[in-house]
Amino acid sequence: MDAQEYLTKIKAKFPDVTDVPVEKLKDGIPALSCPAASLFEVVKYLKEEGLNFLLNLCGTDYKEYFEVIYHFTSLENKVKLALKVKLPREKPAVASITPLHAGADWQEREAFDLLGIDFPGHPNLKRILLPEDWEGHPLRKDYERKPDQYD
Partner 1 sequence: MTDLCKENIKDKDGFETMYLNMGPQHPSTHGVLRLGLVLDGEMIVKAEADLGYLHRGMEKLAEKRTYQANIALSDRYDYVCSMNNNFAVALAIEKLMGVEAPKRAQYIRIIMAELNRVVNHMLFFGFFAMDIGATTALMFGFREREQVIELFESVSGARLTYNYFRVGGVARDLPSDFVQKTKAFIKLMRERLKDYDILVTDNVIFRDRTEGVGVFTKEDCLNYSMTGPMIRACGIKYDIRKDDTYSLYNEFDFEVPVLKNGDCFDRYQQRMLELRESLKIVEQALEKLEPGDIQAKVPKVIKPPAGEAYVRTESPKGELSVYLVSDGSANPYRFHLRAPSFINLQILQKALVGFKVADVIAILGSIDIVLGEVDR
Partner 2 sequence: MGILLDEAPYILEKFPGGGYVITSADWFINWSRANSLWPLTFGLACCAFEMISSNMSKYDLDRFGVFPRPTPRQADLIFVAGTLSKKMAPRLKKLYDQMGEPKYVISMGSCSNTGGPFYDSYSVVKGVDKVIPVDVYVTGCPPRPENLIQGIIKLQEKIKKDTIKNNGRARIFNKNKS
Query: Of 33 and 60, which has the nearer Cβ to partner 1?
Result: 60
Query: Of 15 and 133, which has the nearer Cβ to partner 1?
Result: 133
Stretch that binds partner 1, among 5-13, 35-43, 86-94, 123-131 (CB under 8 A): 123-131
**What is the distance of C-alpha 58 from the center of its chain?**
5
How many residues appear in the chain?
A: 151
Look up residue 49 and give its amino acid. E
Partner in contact with 91, chosen from partner 1, partner 2, none, beta carbon below 5 to 8 Å by kind: none
User: How far is Cα 143 from Cα 145, in angstroms, rounded to an integer?
Assistant: 6
For residues 119 and 95, the answer to whether their CB atoms sit within 8 Å is yes
Give contact residues for partner 2 (rule: CB under 8 A).
130-131, 138, 143, 145, 148, 150-151
Pairing of strands 18-19, 31-34: antiparallel
Q: Kindly tell me the sign of the dihedral angle through the C-alpha atoms of 97, 103, 109, 115.
A: negative
CB of 54 to partner 2, least distance (A): 27
CB of 71 to partner 1, least distance (A): 6
Any bridge partners for residue 81, and if so which? Answer: 72
User: How far is Cα 112 from Cα 106, in angstroms, rounded to an integer?
Assistant: 10
Stretch that binds partner 1, among 7-15, 36-44, 48-56, 87-95 (CB under 8 A): 48-56
Query: Which residue ranges make up the site for partner 1 (CB under 8 A)?
Result: 23-27, 29, 52-56, 58, 60-61, 69, 71, 75, 78, 80, 82, 101-107, 114, 127-131, 138-139
